[in-house]
Amino acid sequence: MSKPTGYSRRDFIKTGSAAAGLGLAAPAALAGALPEAPGVIPRRSRPAVVSSGNGHQYRHDGDLTCVETVFQRMTQGDDILDSVIAGVRINELDPGDTSVGYGGLPNGDGVVQLDASVMHGPMKRAGSVACLEGVRTPAAVARAVMHETDHHLLVGPDAQRFARNMGFTIEDDLNSDVSRARWLDWRRRTDPSRWPGEDDPQRIGFLSGMEMVEEGLIDAEHYWGTINCNAVNAAGEIAGCTTTSGLAWKIPGRVGDSPILGAGLYVDGEVGAAGSTGRGEANLYNLTSFLIVENLRRGMTPLDAGMDAIRRIQQNTIEPRLLNEQGEPNFGIRFYILNAAGEHAGVTLRGGGNYAICTENGPEMVPFESLL
Ligand code: GLY
């Protein structure tokens, strides 16, 4: 499934390592300019993995979390994107992570619909799927779109047909007991006449899934779903993946930012990577991951690049329903940023929390920088 097409990773590493061995200068991209003809890319990177916090929370049936798995695989010489996909697969398969893959919170009709994108820096290629039903591991299907087709994005029943043709197992229902129970609870709150449940009058009038967040039934991060994970290896090869069950209780067919290049994910093999979790619509309006990578290209640090982009989201949020009493955006959105040297940042529009990294020092949870 992970056949590299039109790209010799061995050749790339050979040229990259040779350049590093010659002690060539730091990446030109970090000095604010790209080489006119990349050819041999001088690199010496600190291997690093960055992800949303759930990337160091779930282990599924194994010993390692997502970021640990990615770091182990890429430092053992696996392809950089294959390493990232192996990492996020842990979250996709673990029903405890209700933001991703199997057991992800379903749409308004109770159907789990998944979005994912992958981007391979050295190959300069990407693949995505959206509204995919019945496959636990949408990131691997996105990789198959990248490797096996001339296209970038497949959606809905045709994405599922493609996955079936590629040998993926198709299941009738990706709900876990927990995701189904949460959906039923939401139905009872929003439509008590048709879904009376226990008919507790206190429940009637509760209209928003956010109330379930406030009650601790749903992790706030899982309401908008998603894991983003980006990695750079010692040769300076960069890749990223964003995979999600999307906004909980979304209108069927809604596609968020995760499978859209430049929004939920963007990788430039010479510069860096950025990806997001949180309110996808706010990200789509600003193509924020692309903006962040362009900021890196201009020489900004990952932190400055991210804060500049988050400010753009704030400036462009003017609808009253999206503002709190202070006139600030009332939703959450976060970015996970890595440059070609292995420097990283996690930025959030509001609130605290941590993102996950893994370097030669092992996994760590690192506090976000918050705009508000
Ligand atoms: N960021 C995930 C979504 O909005 O679908």
Strands 125-132 and 153-155 come out as: parallel
Whole-number Å distance between alpha carbons of 26 and 225: 37
Pocket lining for ligand 1, CB < 6 angstroms: 224-226, 244, 246-247, 256-258, 277-280
For 45-84, the pLDDT digits (tens) are 899 999 999 999 999 989 999 999 999 999 999 999 999 9
Query: What is the position in ligand 1's atom list of the atom closest to the CA of 115?
Result: 5
Q: What is the 79 CA–ligand 1 centroid distance (Å)? A: 27
Specify the pLDDT at position 351. Answer: 87
Q: What is the 256 CA–ligand 1 centroid distance (Å)? A: 5
Q: Whose CA is nearest to atom 4 of ligand 1?
A: 280
Whole-number Å distance between alpha carbons of 249 and 103: 13
Specify the pLDDT at position 18. Answer: 31
Specify the pLDDT at position 176. Answer: 97
Strand runs labelled E in 217-306: 227-232, 238-244, 265-268, 272-278
- Residue 111 burial class via C-beta count within 10 angstroms: exposed 0-12, middle 13-18, buried 19 and up: middle
Q: Where are the alpha helices (DSSP H) in 154-256?
A: 156-165, 177-190, 209-214, 220-223
The domain ranges of the chain are 14-31+54-174+221-283
Q: What does the block give as tokens for 279? A: 């309110």
Mean residue pLDDT across the chain: 86
What percentage of the chain reaches a pLDDT higher than 70? 81
Percentage helix, strand, coil, to 5, in the chain?
35, 20, 45
Choose the weakest-confidence range: 6-15, 168-177, 301-310.
6-15
Strands 265-268 and 272-278 come out as: antiparallel
For 118-142, the pLDDT digits (tens) are 999 999 999 999 999 999 999 999 9
> To which H or E segment does residue 19 belong?
helix 9-21
Choose the weakest-confidence range: 4-13, 63-72, 93-102, 120-129.
4-13
Mutate to test the pocket of ligand 1, among 277, 286, 333 (most ligand atoms within 8 A of CB): 277
